[in-house]
Amino acid sequence: MTGRPVDTGDPDRLYTVTGGRSRVDDNSFDLVTLIVSECEPTPGMQSEHVRILSVCRHPTAVVEISAELNLPVTVVRILLGDLLATGRITARHPRAAGSASSLPDSALLKEVLHGLRNL
Q: Is the pLDDT score of 8 beyond 60?
A: no
Q: What's the pLDDT at 29?
A: 85
Q: Give strand ranges (E) for the chain.
A: 34-37, 60-61, 89-92
Mean pLDDT across the stretch 102-116? 84
**Domain 11-98 sits in CATH 1.10.3470:** no
> pLDDT of 19-77, one tens digit each?
666 666 667 788 899 999 999 999 988 889 999 999 999 999 999 999 999 998 888 99
Domain ranges of the chain: 11-98
1 pLDDT more than 60 = no
Q: Is 70 helix (H, G, I), strand (E, B) or coil?
A: coil
Contact 52, 81 (CB under 8 A): no
- Kind of pairing, strands 60-61 and 34-37? antiparallel
Largest CA distance in the chain: 56
Q: Alpha-carbon dihedral of residues 33, 26, 8, 31, nearest 10 degrees? A: -20
For 98, half-sphere exposure in the C-beta direction (CA atoms, 13 angstrom radius) is 2
Predicted confidence at residue 16, as pLDDT, reads: 66
